[in-house]
Amino acid sequence: MPICGIAVTERGQPIDSQTVDAMTSALMMQVGQDRKLIAETKMGFGATSAKDAASIWSSPQLIVTSDADLYNQEELRARVKLSPNEGNLSCLLGQLYLEYGEEFLAKLRGVFAVSIFDRRSRLLILATDRFGVKPLSYNATPTTVVFASQPRGILASGRVKKGVNAIALVNYLNFTVVPAPLSAFEGIAKLSPATYLVWKEGNTHIRHYWDMKYPEDAEGTTKHLAAELLERMEETVRVTSSDVPLPRLGCFLSGGTDSSSVVGLLTRVKKGPVASLSIGFAEERFNELEYAELAAKHFGSQLVVSRLGPEDAFRILPKIVALYDEPFANSSVIPTYHCQMLARERGIEVMLAGDGGDELFGGNERYQTQQVYELYKKIPGLLRRSLVEPIASQFPLSSPGIGSKLRRYIQTSNTPNPERYFRWNMLQHFPPQTILGSALPFGNGHSDLLSIPRAHYHAAPANAEMNRLLYIDVKMTLGDNDLPKVMRAAELAGINVRFPYMDHSLAEFSGRIPANLKVKGLEKRYLFKQATRDLLPKAILQKKKHGFGLPIGMWLKTDPKMRGMAEEVLRDPGTYQRGYFQRDFIEKTFASMDQDNTPYHGDILWPFLMLELWHRHHIEGNVT
């Protein structure tokens, strides 16, 4: 349910309904969607949705528009004395603002993007939920603020000139997404999760109303904490599913611990079998249907399975390129969208997803890797510096054997975070000067390629090193990558997705769990596994993490259509006239791909391919 709007000062260009209508139309995903708009001289707002539910509300005091999915509406309505059928969701949010002011945001349980124009003070508030599930972008000047759920809504206003943000593209090549608050377009920024913008008389302020904190003050035995964790997980599953009839409810099921536990807890809550959906591949390395089928059988779930091949990816890819206003290289959006379409075809309107479990409870493989490097620091510093490191330095890094491995291990262990944490990212692993083209900045004050994760690392309300890394992933892996992947694809598919494990009450409890119970030694998500040991099959608890991964690198290497497209695009001389990246690096990667039997080099090529396809569609307007 995207939203958009404009507000201007007395010196700003007056607003007309045609402009607001153009912005609203640009945000529509399907023909025939419901849309509503309000346009006055100094402000205009619009909202659109797939059903007759576009949420906008006007009163003598306020104009409110919202894209929200709130789980505590009954409680909120009681606070402001609104009956269940009185007023829409934007009316409820407006009444809460009138009662509590800006502090109303902290009382919301769920996901939301909301704009409130206070006619009394001519103040505009823009806010997004705690994890950024519902996005907002904006352009703010001393005379005008323009905002929308996606940049395309802002550009459709005609008040912001379309131009590429070169620094954002450098970050894209390093992280495969454009991280907030950056946008791929000059003059447009993304509102970061758990923040709100206040714009008044041309002055803009960004404020925080919540943050993911790590006090690690949970008390009790491991058994007690595990039981409490499972109880809280079940409660969030209940809350996020209570208003959805079982025939219209389904779950993603990859066969991993997060998705399997959601299916298990939903089965327990609904007291009966639930629908689940999974995607498989012919490539065994990526195929996890065995575990999805195991989980479905264990819980009596009605599993829907579909196998995805390169021909499906080739067919879906143009939709994905058109869908994302910014370059986006998370290839797992393709099976995610395919899974959502399967759900829609079967009448499912709401899906529950297990996203957030890794970042809250310590489930990513690289958390384990970080623990391996932290082991070196347990050796007394004097011994490391006076004995271990002088001996290791005698071995050439290029030589085979344990000596060079020991030296590399010591070097990596002594590398501080976030450099160590991101050392395999594109522009950390390869020299940036061999990749970046002439149009992208490197040096001249822009040489800190980790400035955004570095800011998160130092801002993290945490003492433990592990929690600082979790905090980075909450902000970037979830907020910038996984959530846009799932939610934008869901918007295209026409369904709603909810994330039980990202309920803020559960997230806050995870912050209270001691870091050494999340990753204990080298065991990932230790407490989570203790909590679900009687819920999940043993084989699923012991399996390696995978999720809805895609063998895109292998398909770019071996599939004629995918390979042909990649060569046509990445060997087109016009591609290099943009100055985004260097042809020599791409040609060397093609050559290495042909000499390698793994998907590694194909995976390297994918972000470059998606960047060029993005430019052709969203900058040049080439929709073929």
Task: State the Cα–Cα distance between residues 501 and 133, nearest whole angstrom.
Answer: 13
Q: What angle do the packed helices 402-413 and 365-375 form, to 10 degrees? A: 100
Tell me the pLDDT tens digit for each residue of 183-200: 999 999 999 999 999 999
Task: State the Cα–Cα distance between residues 526 and 520, nearest whole angstrom.
Answer: 6
pLDDT of residue 440: 93
161 — phi, psi (to 5°)? -70, 135
Query: Is pLDDT larger for residue 274 or for residue 396?
Result: 274
Residues β-bridged to residue 5: 45, 147
Tell me the pLDDT tens digit for each residue of 134-148: 999 999 999 999 999
Task: State the Cα–Cα distance between residues 100 and 604, nearest whole angstrom.
Answer: 50
Cβ neighbors of 399 (< 8 A, separation 6 or more) are none
Residue percentage of the chain with pLDDT more than 70: 98
Task: State the Cα–Cα distance between residues 172 and 308, nearest whole angstrom.
Answer: 27
pLDDT at 291 over 60: yes
pLDDT of residue 403: 84
Tell me the pLDDT tens digit for each residue of 549-603: 789 999 999 999 999 999 999 999 999 999 999 999 999 999 999 999 899 999 9
Task: Please state, rounded to an integer, the average pLDDT across all residues of the chain.
Answer: 94
Cβ neighbors of 373 (< 8 A, separation 6 or more) are 409, 412, 413, 420
Domains in the chain with CATH codes: 3-208 (3.60.20.10), 222-362+468-542 (3.40.50.620), 381-462 (no CATH), 552-619 (no CATH)
As given in the structure block, the two tokens for residue 509 are 């409890």
Band (346; pLDDT cuts 50, 70, 90): very high
pLDDT at 445 over 90: no
Bond before 181 cis per omega within 30 degrees? yes
Tell me the pLDDT tens digit for each residue of 605-615: 999 999 999 99
Task: State the Cα–Cα distance between residues 195 and 266, nearest whole angstrom.
Answer: 31
As given in the structure block, the two tokens for residue 309 are 């091949």
| Contact of 235 with 72, CB cutoff 8 Å | no
**Which range has the worst mean pLDDT, 181-190, 203-212, 281-290?**
281-290
Residue 143's alpha-carbon distances to 39, 140, 181, in angstroms, are 17, 8, 21
Q: What is the 3-state secondary structure (H, E, C) of 319-363?
A: HHHHHCCCCCCCCCHHHHHHHHHHHHHCCCCEEECCCCHHHHHCC
pLDDT of residue 287: 81
pTM as predicted: 0.96
Tell me how far the alpha carbon of residue 288 is from its chain's centroid: 22
| Contact of 145 with 204, CB cutoff 8 Å | yes
Tell me the pLDDT tens digit for each residue of 494-531: 999 999 999 999 999 999 999 999 999 999 999 999 99
pLDDT at 203 over 80: yes
